[in-house]
Structures are given as C-alpha cells and as structure tokens.
Amino acid sequence: APKVIGLTGGIGSGKTTVAHFIEEFGFPVYYSDERAKDIVNDNEALKIKIRELLGDESYDNNGFYDRKFVAEKVFNDNDLLQKLNAIIHPAVRIDFEEWVKKQSKYLVFKETALLFELKLNKQCYKSVLVTAQDNIRTKRVMDRDGKTYREVETIMERQMPEKDKIKLADCIIYNNTNLEDLKEQTERIIFEIE
Ligand code: ATP
C-alpha cells in the first residue's frame, strides 16, 4: 500500500496550489473537500441519512444537494452540524480508502482543510502544513474570492491557530513569497519524505 501524506493549511495558505504542484511532479492527490461535495450527491446511502437528519428539502427537485438550505439549517445549530459531519466524514473516509487502493505510486497525498481538527493526521504517514502570514493569506483570499477583509478574518478566527498546526505538522511549507519558491519547497518536501 502507498504511504499517505496529509496535506493541509488554513484559508488562503496555498494548499490547493501546492496540491497542483504535487500532481505536476507526478504524485496523486485526493481532494477531500471537493470529494465531499460530490459524495453528498452520488452516495445513495448517505443521501438517505442526510434526508433523515435534515429533511427532504436537503435535496432539490432534481435530487441535488441543496447546499444553501443545509448551510442555513446548521448555521446556528452546532449539535446538528456535528451530526451532519458524523455522517459525511466516514463516507469521505471510505471513498478515500477506495481511491487509495487504485493508486500505484509509493506516495499519495490527501488534501484536507481539517487534517488536525479531525485528527486525520493519525491515519497518515506524515503531515505537510502550508502556512503563511495572516495578512498575506487575507489579501490572497480577498483577491481570489472578492471577500472583504472582515469576512476573511472571521473565517480565519474560526480555524485552528497556525501556531497549533505548526506544532503538529511533520513538514512545513512557508508560503510568504512567490509561486516559484512555493514550487521549489514542494519539490524538496516530496523527495525528502522517505
Ligand atoms: P482555501 O482553503 O481558501 O481554498 P488554499 O489554502 O487552497 O485556500 P490556494 O487557493 O492555493 O489556497 O491559494 C489562495 C490564493 O492565493 C489563490 O488565488 C492562489 O493562486 C494564490 N497564491 C497562493 N500562493 C501564492 C504565492 N506564493 N504567490 C502568489 N499567489 C499565491
């Protein structure tokens, strides 16, 4: 079986950019958050559970997950959010395990924003954290998403502090400069993992 490397970082850290570089270097990446969005539409057993938990309106007339309805429903209900996560996360985990079985490289990467929060690093051989100064991350997200300073800051405040992630990570990529530097650090880390 391949070694699984967890890849994470807070909002705007550059983890998706790093993941794309990793693919350019020839290593497969599983995008957990992207896959989670597909699974809520494709996995019939999961769809039934979500309907049971949040009601039939969780899916629109065409059978597609109504992200807006669900977000509003769980927004101020932490207990319900936990219950929703408790059915989605195991489904993603199973999907990941099926994906891993199909890979032939000796290293595969699992990109997820919640690597440490969900303690998924315990199921990985090594963890890689992408980090950058808060003000740099904020500016990048404002440019990318057209969000305001305050909106980005609010999201950031809800995430695990960088200093805690830095303590937990096996390898750290500091993304404070340019894309060339980021790519070089990514390459170095991939080929140093043994
Ligand atoms: P999120 O969790 O918000 O999805 P992320 O960690 O996946 O963020 P990216 O989307 O990879 O972060 O990067 C955020 C934005 O910053 C993107 O628009 C990306 O192109 C840009 N970016 C990332 N790193 C750099 C860099 N070193 N120089 C310039 N722009 C960068």
CATH number of the domain that 65 lies in?
A: 3.40.50.300
> Ligand 1 centre and the CA of 136: distance in Å?
10
Which long-range contacts does 176-183 make (Cβ < 8 Å, 24+ apart)?
A: 176/132, 176/133, 176/136, 179/17, 182/14, 182/17, 182/18, 182/21, 183/21
Question: Do 66 and 79 fall into the same domain?
Answer: yes
Same structural domain, 50 and 1 = no
My answer on whether 40 and 80 are in the same domain is yes
Q: Are residues 84 and 133 in the same domain?
A: no
Is 9 among the annotated ligand-binding positions? no
pLDDT value at position 194? 75
My answer on whether 20 and 40 are in the same domain is: no
Segment 24-29 shows an average pLDDT of 98
The residue among 51, 84, 102 that closes a domain is 102
Q: Is 85 near ligand 1, meaning CB less than 6 Å away?
A: no
Final residue in a domain of this structure, among 73, 102, 131:
102
Q: 96 is in which domain, residue-wise?
A: 33-102
pLDDT at res. 101? 96
User: What number is the average pLDDT over the span 62-75?
Assistant: 94
Instruction: Give pLDDT, residue 136.
Output: 97
Ligand 1, residue 176: give the atom nearest the CA: 27
Confidence of residue 160 (pLDDT cuts 50, 70, 90): very high
9 lines ligand 1 (CB under 6 A): yes
Task: Return the structure tokens found at 166.
Answer: 């830095």
% of residues, the chain, pLDDT over 70: 100
Ligand 1 contacts CB of residue 119 (under 6 A): no
- Over residues 81-111, the pLDDT tens digits come to 999 999 999 999 999 999 999 999 999 999 9
Give the number of domains in the chain. 2
| Domain shared by 113 and 186, yes or no | yes
Compute, in angstroms, the gap from residue 153 CA to the centroid of ligand 1.
Answer: 16
Domain end marker among 71, 102, 133? 102
pLDDT tens per residue across span 119-158: 999 999 999 999 999 999 999 999 999 999 999 999 999 9
Residues 42 and 110 in one domain: no
User: Domain check: are 20 and 44 in the same one?
Assistant: no
Q: Examine the domain organization and report whether 20 and 37 are in the same domain.
A: no
**ipTM for the assembly:** 0.98
Statement to judge: residues 130 and 58 lie in one domain: no
Residue 13 assigned ligand-binding role: yes
